[in-house]
Amino acid sequence: MLIDKNYISAFVKTTERAAYGASLLKGKGDKIAADKAAVDEMRSQLNKIDMKGRIVIGEGELDEAPMLYIGEKVGNNNGYELDLAVDPLEGTNFAAKDLPNAISVLAVTLKGNLLNAPETYMEKIAIGPGLPKNLVDLDFGVKKNIELLAKAKKISPNKLTACVLKRPRHDLIVKELNSMGVKINFISDGDVLGVISVANPNSNIDLYIGTGGGPEGVLAAAALKCLDCQIQTRLVLQNDEEKNRAKKIGINDFKKKYDVNDLVKGDVIFCATGVTDGSLLKGIKNNEDTFEAETFVLHKSSSLNKIIKNKVKK
């Protein structure tokens, strides 16, 4: 069963409104207020849609997030049963400081088709389209993965570029990449766009590698699935509390590696709207009575892949 493509415009409108809400607070230094504004706008818009929606990945659990919490029902209780992964403001620091690459993002599948990833860390390795299946593996180590990728692309390792989240936990990965002459594109936050960069020919990113957020891994996988890219992930559960949280949502094999079809099954819609100007999207431009928005939209079954520019009434 496929998702009706008539839903696409409604979900585009949802990330547009969330991005608009966050844009009103960009550069104000208050990431919590910017996030709340995005959440409020997104929730209001979702509840206008003809669907029986359920938040599978959201702002956190009910006690942490009063709105768009995991398990929250959204929509007007008509139409398809849909599961949603949402991040109303990915890159809260970027928005607060008016830095590039803050976005509002969501992914939608039919009920039961999104991995319910807990709010924990997740190891990730992702590569672009047109490469042999199962080429890279988290258990191979950096050196072997780079050698395999370089061989498949018929170039030397020093012609490759890896995207890495700049964190002390990645020092060993960086050391190995440097030893092979691999160029590194560091990002400070926002690993949804970081992972997706492997699919963008203009980014010249060959590989994403490192540990980031679990929910962000699922959101990125939704885009990569539409773009025929590869990702492999594994949850990093650091203590008993995180293990219990994972068990509560049905995850019992803590060492399992998830590929793109484990993370996102079946048909999927992905929407990301720019809040601030970035590498993929322009941010919200506020006019007197309208705002202008750019949204990256993907729909697996209809092969939709485009950037939509809209002028929207406030």
What are 121's strand-pairing partners?
Answer: 213, 236
Residues 125 and 257 in one domain: yes
CA count, 13 A, side-chain hemisphere, 216: 23
Q: What is the pLDDT of residue 260?
A: 97
CATH number of residue 151's parent domain? 3.40.190.90
Q: What is the pLDDT of residue 59?
A: 86
Residues 16 and 130 in one domain: no
Residues 109 and 125 in one domain: no
E strands of the chain, at which residues?
51-57, 73-74, 80-90, 103-110, 121-127, 161-165, 183-187, 207-213, 230-236, 258-259, 269-274, 285-286, 290-299, 304-313
Residues 169-221 have pLDDT tens digits of 999 999 999 999 999 999 999 899 999 999 988 889 999 999 999 999 999 99
Residues 32 and 85 in one domain: yes
Taking phi over 0 as left and psi of -120 to 50 as alpha, with beta for the rest, 40 belongs to alpha
Q: Could you give the number of structural domains in the chain?
A: 2
Could you say which residues of the chain have pLDDT below 50? Answer: none
Residues 18 and 100 in one domain: yes
Residues 27 and 98 in one domain: yes
With a threshold of 0.75, does the pTM exceed it?
A: yes
- Residue 271: which domain range? 5-113+267-313
Q: What is the pLDDT of residue 310?
A: 98
Residues 134-161 have pLDDT tens digits of 999 999 999 999 999 999 999 999 999 9
Residues 194 and 235 in one domain: yes
Residues 241 and 272 in one domain: no
Residues 249 and 286 in one domain: no
